[in-house]
Amino acid sequence: MKLKPETLQRIDEIIPHYPVKRSAVLMLLHAIQEDVGFISTEAIEWVATKLELQPINVLEVVTFYPMFRQKPIGRRHIKVCRTLSCALRGGYQTCETLEKEFGVHRGEVSADGEVTIEFVECLASCGTAPVVMVDDDLHENVDCARARALAAQIKQEAARRG
Amino acid sequence: MPAPAQRRIIFRHIDEPGYTNDLACYVRHGGYATLRKAVTMAPAAIIDEVKKSGLRGRGGAGFGCGLKWTLVDRKSGKPIYLIVNADESEPGTFKDRYIIHQDPHQLIEGIMITCWANNVKQAYIYIRGEFPVGARILEKAIAEARAAGYVGPNVLGTPYGCEIYVHRGAGAYICGEETGLIESLEGKRPYPRIKPPYFPAVLGLYQCPTIVNNVETLCHVKYIVEVGGDEFAKIGTPNNTGTRILCVSGHVQKPGYYEFEVGKITLGQLLHEVCGGPLPGRKFKAVIPGGSSAKVLRFGETFTLKNKDGSARTLAVEDIPMDFDTMAACGTMGGSGGVIVMDDSVNMVEALANLNAFYAHESCGQCTPCREGSLWMKKITSRMVHGQARAEDGTLLKSVADQIAGRTVCAFGEACSWPTQSFVAKFGDEFKAYPETKQAAKPAGATDLV
Amino acid sequence: MSASPKPDLITVNVDGRDVAVPKGTNVIEAARLVGVDVPYYCYHPKLSISGNCRMCLVEIGMPAVDPATKAPIVDPGTGKQRINWIPRPQIGCATTASPGLHVRTNTAQIKECREGVMEFLLVNHPLDCPICDQAGECKLQEQATGYGRGYSRYIEAKNVKPKRTQLGPRVMLDDERCILCSRCIRFCKEVAKDDVLGFIDRGSYSTLTCYPGRQLTNNYSLNTVDICPVGALTSTDFRFKMRVWFLKQTDSIDPESSVGANTVVWSREGVVYRITPRRNDEVNDTWMADSGRELYKQNRAPDRLMVARVEGQDSTPAAALAAAADLLKPAAGAVAVVGSGRSSIEEQFVTRRMANALGAGAFLVGRSDPGDGLLISADRNPNVRGALVTGLVTNLPSERLTQLGEWIDEGKVRCVVSVGEDLLAAGLTEAQLARVAVVYLGTHANATSAIARIVVPTFTVLERTGSFVNQQFRLQKFFQAVPGPAGAIDDLTALTRLLSSVEGEYFPPEPAAIWPEMARAIDVLQGITFAGIPATGRLLDGSRWAGLPFPEGPGLHFQPAAKP
Ligand SMILES: Cc1cc2nc3c(=O)[nH]c(=O)nc-3n(C[C@H](O)[C@H](O)[C@H](O)COP(=O)(O)O)c2cc1C
Ligand code: SF4
Ligand code: SF4
Ligand code: FES
Ligand code: FES
């Protein structure tokens, strides 16, 4: 695991925000995942050493939170909201549409490694349901038509990247 | 009666064209004047104003904000912490999101006033992991405020100093529960703490006295100091003061957020007039009025409530004011202000199956009844919608839920059993006779819920 | 409400009965004092309170007082102070007794709560008790009968979790049986200070795990097996070997060090199957080291001495002892006795008498190794303090018998009696030993037994009865759990026989019979009888020896006296 200098710098900034180092676990894991894409065993042990914890303390946390992943995912992370308000407005259909567009099931990485689709719980934007997050960005009112457009856009961006 | 007009206090600038989330814009609109005023006031005087205001927490429980602050152990000699609950994880709730994204300085000003009033030197904003942009906005806003002397050492030139840090969650509803949140902030699995003895006001973050308040609550605090507690108390209705953001989602024409004086608008006015009524060709069937955990209301049911003078009044669902007390009297709650509407295309078994999947996924798993009960309820409803419903499943579901509520470490136990209890109680027929296939359960064109 | 009988006691009421309990007692313990059973899983008296199982729910009430005047509110119907019951049930494990606290455990609500928790615990638990190793010791099985509903309403598929995971060399985990009570995790964190266990994932899928790549190897790992309320954690060693209900239990003491952890020895038909800790709040709480549990294996070790020898010929213990007496008596004045810090205080008393009778110098071999700060101290002899109390020695023993070596070299000593000590290991040379006749009393073969003129096989601690004085000067008894091997003899019998032949006077070989004389002869033992020593031991006045540089450092319930 090789962390970028700016990640390391950010980590050293974060730790003193807390009177007890252990508090920084979540923030460190976020920083590492943003940098290298997932939380490896090495990362768990690195965080444990950094915060003077036992590795099990970090593993317990990593596995509790769905946002942390222990394996790499696709280049684009698509999260479709599954919960009631979105479902009432077609969230399940949105998810199925995206699955069809990318030929991949929820929870999996597409064959080309481009996307991972996840069906997640409420994203706190229920008023503009159904909603989808692509990486950090929220897309609102994503009905099936918009889902197809969104898929097209993602594919286009992938093509442009080459 | 026509619906009253919205009264936008907290959301005054949300979606206002030209209003940006930077410090300059905020200050241009009078921002931080209230903090300036606050630091000239004695902390106890601010707490008094908040008490006078009657403000009740907007996070879900509706606990008196002033009372919460008075319970803080100020004699321990330990530091007092403020944690801002920006976890916004109750399904159906999406108000804090807009404050954070569009008006972060309003929140920061509320935080600093609260810190000053409670002699807090260190505040954390616990923001849900799914708000990465929000977290960046808050960090930038805090940096701006620090540079301008509103946050940090020597706030506004006084000897008083206070830091705010942003702490990100990572996708767990239970981190909205205040003691689960505290554990999470301490870097542990967010297992809610047993109360007693771990009341945050005494043994909170790092075993120090801690105040946990919702984002919206703290924005109200800012407004209370701006106008005075008495003035604030005139807004809304007795014991249900101020305004609150109502978040409407699901089957209405115009879902979204609306700010009204508490209790001044009824559920019927909100849904029919403000939100434009049901979708074309549909009728309202059910509504969850205070976030997904609140007990569902069935359109058509009525409530007979006692008036103060001893007489009784009967309310239809549409007549219930959007407040704390009447909602509670009708067996549900104002909760987080998230109103989820279901029309007659919805099969209630499926809607419950959707929610049960949420709760089974989010139970932290610490205590037996919730850990095992929430998954069991999910398995039952999921089996039902997959062609193996039994006539007795409704009774079983209710019994499982009854074995959870009131017996768990944290209020998630109620949160996960109230939907089941109320769905089965109010839509028992649908649970007795769920058809063999999902397709048969609902009208053409209705959306899938499971 | 009656007034508190003593300042540190408060009165609470459980199911209608008043009981005085020490301040700080929780409701489970308070109820126990009146014989009311509050079932529980996650609570453990020696671990932090977690409150997760919810089995111990009870109804709690407080006497009503007028908020303004604080005057008691009396119920006109009963004439008694009204009790304000909290509508929600509360957990007994986390509710501390406060004056006047009322507890109800026998209501319909509580019955239903327990049935609910039992049902929940069983929905994802395999129902194959007949093949589970914990059967007979499983609190789940036990309480399902007492508090369960007796039938299952669960028709869904059970969760699937890892089975048969080897957590470490001695502990095995079956995750499907785990009820997630977190006792084992808390033990490792709080007591063993070896944080390797934890829960991963969440909700009903939470799974107990040892950090991958790490093992539960600490020397206290088997305590997790003891405290696991179900059959999730089992001992690799004991697993499926024997059903517990067939086993006899005997109180004993861990002889590994001067801590003297209290133990129970589980045996059947003369065979020991396991050793587990016995609660003593002043010594070892409810814990013991893994190493001490293995000691029973020495009983049947291949190097166990099974037959007496005289001059290289097989013999009987009686004949060998007679030969020893014949050797020693004429040598009186030129004998040395190497006693043992592993002998009981009774054995040491007799050893001292024998040394006196033979005009012999008495020695002890010290044994030290760093302590673990918990239940193994730096003094690896269980009973050096016994040797001080009996006057067998007057100073702390050294690890080497240098003085004895010098005496041999000077020709002052012709015969050496060794009580279980390997004299070569203790620093004597082969040349020195060649110049003396050695009488060896011991359990296992070693270099000294190999060259001894007379060898008398003796018993291990599991085969003997007696008492040790631990690092706190606490006198603690241990009892014979199993008979010794046929060709061996009990140490106390051997020593009293030798003494009888030397002094020409009969000495009874039972500890109980020796005590009256010991109590007369030794002032700090005055008034004590063997039978009168409580199961958890009795503190002796050790102040006379306070100035000695004892090697022990701090451990559980032990702070060394400040060194002068
Ligand atoms: C399961 C559960 C989830 C909760 N989620 C949230 C949340 O997302 N945001 C929030 O402000 N309060 C949430 N709460 C309520 C908090 O525990 C706490 O009462 C609240 O933050 C206090 O703030 P207030 O007094 O300002 O409302 C939740 C409570 C429970 C039991
Ligand atoms: S009630 Fe549920 S969420 Fe709360 S502590 Fe228990 S298992 Fe966790
Ligand atoms: S293995 Fe046993 S002690 Fe450990 S958590 Fe599971 S049930 Fe409790
Ligand atoms: S239910 Fe989808 S954002 Fe809330
Ligand atoms: S014993 Fe488990 S909750 Fe009390």
Residue C490 maps to a domain:
yes
How does pLDDT run across B270-323, given as a tens digit for each residue?
999 999 999 999 999 999 999 999 999 999 999 999 998 999 999 999 999 999
C309 and C187 in a single domain? The answer is no
Per-residue pLDDT tens over the stretch C258-294: 999 999 999 999 999 999 999 999 999 999 999 999 9
Domain identity same for C388 and C464? yes
Residue A70 lies in a domain: no
Domains of chain B: 23-234 (3.40.50.11540), 242-343 (3.10.20.600), 348-437 (1.20.1440.230)
Residue C250 maps to a domain: no
Contact residues, chain C, for B396 at CB < 8 Å = 153
In this prediction, residue C135 has a pLDDT band, given cuts at 50, 70 and 90, of confident
What domain range is A11 assigned to? 5-64
Closest listed residue to residue B426, CA positions, set B263, B297, B282, B271: B297
Looking at the structure of chain A, the number of domains it has is 2
A54 in contact with C, Cβ within 8 Å: yes
Return the percentage of chain C with pLDDT > 70, whole number.
98
pLDDT of residue C8: 85
Residues A110-137: what's their mean pLDDT? 97
Residue B91 CA, closest ligand 4 atom number: 4
Whether C82 and C108 share a structural domain: yes
A80 and A134 housed in the same domain? yes
Tell me the pLDDT band of C563, cut-offs 50, 70 and 90.
low
Interface of A with B in 83-142 (CB under 8 A): 83-85, 87-93, 120-129, 133, 136-138
Q: Which residues of chain B have pLDDT under 50?
A: none
Tens-place pLDDT, residues B77-120? 999 999 999 999 999 999 999 999 999 999 999 999 999 999 99
Residues A112 and A149 in one domain: yes
**pLDDT bucket at C4, cuts 50 / 70 / 90:** very low
For residues C101 and C130, membership in a common domain is answered with: no
Looking at the structure, do residues C220 and C204 belong to the same domain, yes or no? yes
A129 and B188 within 8 Å at the Cβ level: the answer is: no
Identify the burial level of B29 via C-beta atoms within 10 angstroms of its C-beta, where 0-12 means exposed, 13-18 middle and 19 or more buried: middle
Residue A71 belongs to some domain of the structure:
no
Q: How confident is the model at residue C131 (pLDDT cuts 50, 70, 90)?
A: confident
A69 in any annotated domain: no
Residue A3 confidence (pLDDT) above 90: yes
Q: Do residues A44 and A109 both lie within one domain?
A: no
Angle between helices A25-36 and A41-50 (to 10 degrees): 140
Assess whether A30 and A58 both reside in one domain: yes
Residues A91 and A156 in one domain: yes
Residues A83 and A135 in one domain: yes
Q: Is residue C245 part of a domain?
A: no
User: Is residue C5 very low, low, confident or very high in pLDDT (cuts 50, 70, 90)?
Assistant: low
Interface contact flag, B130 A67, Cβ < 8 Å? yes
Strands laid side by side in the A115-120 sheet: A115-120, A76-81, A132-134, A137-139
Would residue A146 count as lying in a domain?
A: yes
Instruction: Name the residue of A93, A126, A128, A138 whose CB sits within 8 Å of the most ligand 4 atoms, as the mutation to test its pocket.
Output: A126
Which of C89, C327, A37 lies closest to B369 in space, CA to CA?
C89
Nearest C-alpha of chain B: how many angstroms from A136?
Answer: 6
d(CA C441, ligand 5 centre) in Å: 52
Q: Are residues C81 and C112 in the same domain?
A: yes
Is residue C6 pLDDT above 70, yes or no? no
Chains touching A by CB (3 or more pairs below 8 Å) = B, C
Residue B423: what are its φ and ψ, rounded to 5°? -60, -45
- CB < 8 Å to A79, chain B: 130
List of residues 6+ apart from A28 with CB closer than 8 A = A11, A14, A15, A47, A50, A51
Residue A121 lies in a domain: yes
C208 and C319: one domain?
no
User: Burial, B30: exposed, middle or buried (Cβ in 10 Å; 0-12, 13-18, 19+)?
Assistant: exposed
- Predicted local distance difference test score (pLDDT) of residue B134: 98
pLDDT bucket at C2, cuts 50 / 70 / 90: very low
Domain assignment of residue A49, yes or no = yes
Claim to verify: residue C359 and residue C457 sit in the same structural domain:
yes
Phi and psi dihedrals of B277, rounded to 5? Answer: 80, -175
Q: Are residues C134 and C88 in the same domain?
A: no
* C211 has a chain B CB within 8 A of its CB: no
Is there an atom of ligand 1 within 6 Å of B88 CB?
Answer: yes
pLDDT of residue A58: 98
Determine the average pLDDT of the residues in C313-329: 97
Mean pLDDT (whole number) for C48-64: 97
C265 within a domain of the structure (yes/no) = no
The count of domains in chain C is 3
Q: Which residue has the higher pLDDT, C78 or C214?
A: C214
Are residues C94 and C145 both part of a single domain?
A: no
Element (H, E) at C315: strand C313-315
Spacing of C-alpha C375 from chain mean position: 10
Give the pLDDT confidence score for residue C406 in this predicted structure: 97
Domain shared by A44 and A24, yes or no: yes
The mean pLDDT value for C192-219 works out to 97
Instruction: Answer for the pair C258, C470: CB distance below 8 angstroms, yes or no.
Output: yes
Which phi and psi angles does B132 have, rounded to 5°? -65, -35
The answer to whether residue C106 sits within a structural domain is yes
| Residues C476 and C426 reside in one and the same domain | yes
C1 pLDDT exceeds 60?
A: no
Would residue A148 count as lying in a domain? yes
- Of C118, C141, C169, which one is at a domain's C-terminal end? C118
Residues A86, A113 within the same domain: yes
At which of C99, C118, C137 does a domain end?
Answer: C118
- Give the CA distances from residue B438 to residues B115, B358, B450, in Å, rounded to whole numbers and listed in that order: 53, 19, 9
Kindly report the CATH number assigned to the domain that includes residue C213. 3.30.70.20
Contact B353, B339 (CB under 8 A): no
Both A33 and A86 in a single domain?
A: no
Q: What is the dihedral of CA C21, C23, C27, C30, to 10 degrees?
A: -20
Strands B338-343 and B284-288 come out as: antiparallel
User: Within this chain, do residues A80 and A60 fall inside the same structural domain, yes or no?
Assistant: no
Q: How many CB atoms lie within 10 A of CB B302?
A: 10
Considering the domain architecture, whether residues A89 and A32 belong to the same structural domain is answered as: no
Is residue C320 in some structural domain?
yes
Tell me the CATH number at C433.
Answer: 3.40.50.740
Percentage of the residues of chain C whose pLDDT score is greater than 90: 88
Flag whether A154 is in a domain: yes
Question: Who among A21, A67, A124 is closest to B94 (CB)?
Answer: A124
- The pLDDT of A1-25, averaged and rounded, is 97
Q: Find the domain containing C218 and state its range.
A: 126-240
Q: Look up the CATH number of the domain holding residue A127.
A: 3.40.30.10
C562 band by pLDDT with thresholds 50, 70 and 90: low
**Domain identity same for C90 and C164:** no
> What's at B90, amino acid-wise?
E
CATH number at residue A17: 1.10.10
Residue B442, pLDDT score: 80
8 A C-beta contact, residue C349 and residue C362: no
DSSP tag of C536:
T
Q: Concatenated DSSP letters for C492-535?
A: HHHHHHHHHHHHTS----SHHHHHHHHHHH-GGGTT--TTTS-T
Q: Do B369 and C117 touch (CB under 8 A)?
A: yes
Task: Kindly write down the DSSP assignment for every residue of A48-97, as one continuous string.
Answer: HHHTT--HHHHHHHHHH-TT--SS---SEEEEEE-SHHHHHTTHHHHHHH
Q: Give the residue from C240, C264, C282 where a domain finishes.
A: C240
Residues A59 and A87 in one domain: no
Residue at C260 is within a domain: no
CB distance B64 to B56 below 8 Å: yes
Residue C276 in any domain: the answer is no
